Amino acid sequence: MEIKRLNIIISLGFVAIIGILVAQLLWTRQAYHLEDKKFNQKVNLALLEVVKKLYGSKVTFTENPVQNVANDYYVVNINNEFDPGILEHYLKTEFTRFQINTDYVYAVYNCHSDRMVYGRYVSTHEEDIQDKVITFPKHKNLVYYFSIRFPDKTAYLVSSLKFWYLLTIALIIILFVYVYSIYTIIQQKKFSELQRDFINNMTHEFKTPLSSILLAAEALHQQEEVQNSKKLKTYASIIANQGNKLNLHIEKILNIAKNDASGVKLNLQKLNLSLFLNDIKNQIEQKNENVKIDIQVENSTHIVADEFHFSNMVHNIIDNSIKYCEENPHIQIFETKDAKGLYLKFKDNGIGISNHNINSVFTQFYRINTQKSDEVSGFGLGLFYVKKMVQLHHWKISLQNNTDKGITLSIFIPYQN
């Protein structure tokens, strides 16, 4: 159901962005045509004013003397002799008045030589004037006329619509980013599913022979020959202990894979923090005689948490402190409070963590490459699980090295929690 919903969201988002992009392209195209039409209208009006000034202000036309022969080419019929110098003056004046700010070239028809006489290239920036010749065709049935061409008309129209083009380019970039993001999400999802399936298959394949080993170890431990031999009894205990430890690791992996697939539902309840931690302390100290745990938490302190997952969190933190210690482990669990909430801190005397690796210890399957890590069994899931449960409780977790040795792990529990 979740995959189907994700596919629907991806499809709708993709269709929406494509639709917006197509609409933007159509709007840009329409805006270009409108700008082109507006430009032609301004040129026609400006050239009509030029004709009026060449004729006289009271002249009337039976037909429009301005002909738009091509997209950037205009022919103006004067039907009377005129001075090219005055013509250029009027062209500059009227184009400036109508805000036609682009380069143009004009040519005048010489009826004596029966050819178009090249006029001049007129630029809006005098320093950009180019001495280049542009061919103007001769028109039949016209005697006194001039032609004008706008060689940079397309560039001028595009520059006037640069906002539209920038918006279109931005939408195209957004589309590519969206497609790349979706591709990355899909690839990541496939990788996660593959990883989860591999973990499930691997751990289930391990559990069957492991169960047989544990049953055999239990049966072996009950044999009279084993009970009477201290050495055999020690070997049987080692098999049972290591088998149980491996079984716990496998269960941990299975639980994390299951939680990734279906999510974790917390069963929140009010817990007396001091009693809860002391119960865990007694359990751990009974199994590990050389471990010392000091708890400094007020009897009145209560928190709201999932008892099962919170217990696993504390066990994982203490277990890490025990495994990564080169002397007798000494773990201090204490609380500090401020105006916002409670800080539950776990301080140990272990080997500590290098500053280079301290931000990575909560990453799934991450293990620090040290000699001590090679000696300690594990899959790099303990602190990953702790952080995940902390986040589900809406708490915060942090880790720092102590000034002497070891680390201090802090869990911040806000009062509203």
pLDDT at 381 over 90: no
- The whole-number average pLDDT for the span 79-101 is 82
182: CB partners within 8 A, 6+ apart: 10, 13, 14
pLDDT score, position 236: 80
Q: What is the mean pLDDT of residues 105-115?
A: 74
Average pLDDT, the chain: 78
Confidence band, pLDDT 50/70/90 cuts, at residue 73: confident
pLDDT for the residue numbered 9: 75
Task: Look at 271 and 357; give whichever has higher pLDDT.
Answer: 271
Instruction: Report pLDDT digits (tens) over 260-303.
Output: 545 567 788 999 999 999 988 888 887 777 888 999 999 888 99
Helix (H, G, I), strand (E, B) or coil at 159: helix
Using CA atoms, how far apart are residues 284 and 292, in angstroms rounded to an integer? 9
Residue 183 has what pLDDT?
77
* Per-residue model confidence (pLDDT) at position 1: 46
- Supply the pLDDT for residue 112: 65
Mean pLDDT on 382-395: 86
**pLDDT of residue 129 exceeding 60:** no
Asked whether the beta carbons of 407 and 353 are under 8 A apart, the reply is yes
Per cent of the chain over pLDDT 90 is 8
Length of the chain: 417
Query: Residues 6 or more apart from 80 whose CB is under 8 A from it?
Result: 54, 55, 144
Look at residue 203 in the predicted model and tell me its pLDDT.
Answer: 64
Question: What ranges do the domains of the chain cover?
Answer: 2-160, 163-262, 268-414
pLDDT of residue 345: 93
Confidence of residue 252 (pLDDT cuts 50, 70, 90): low
112-140 mean pLDDT: 66
Is the pLDDT confidence value at 344 over 90? yes
3-state secondary structure of 297: coil
Distances (CA, A) of 180 to 17, 20, 101, 187, 217: 13, 18, 42, 10, 54
Q: How far apart are CA 321 and CA 330, in angstroms?
A: 8
Strand order in the sheet with 292-296: 292-296, 330-337, 341-347, 407-414, 396-401
State pTM to two decimals.
Answer: 0.45
Higher pLDDT, 109 or 259: 109
Query: Which of the four pLDDT bands, split at 50, 70 and 90, describes residue 374?
Result: very low
pLDDT more than 70, % of the chain: 81
Question: Among the ranges 181-190, 228-237, 335-344, which has the highest mean pLDDT value?
Answer: 335-344
Has domain 268-414 been given CATH number 3.30.565.10? yes
Across the range 316-328, mean pLDDT stands at: 84
Spatial distance between the Cα atoms of 68 and 377, rounded to a whole number of angstroms: 86
Q: What is the mean pLDDT of the segment spanning 164-187?
A: 79
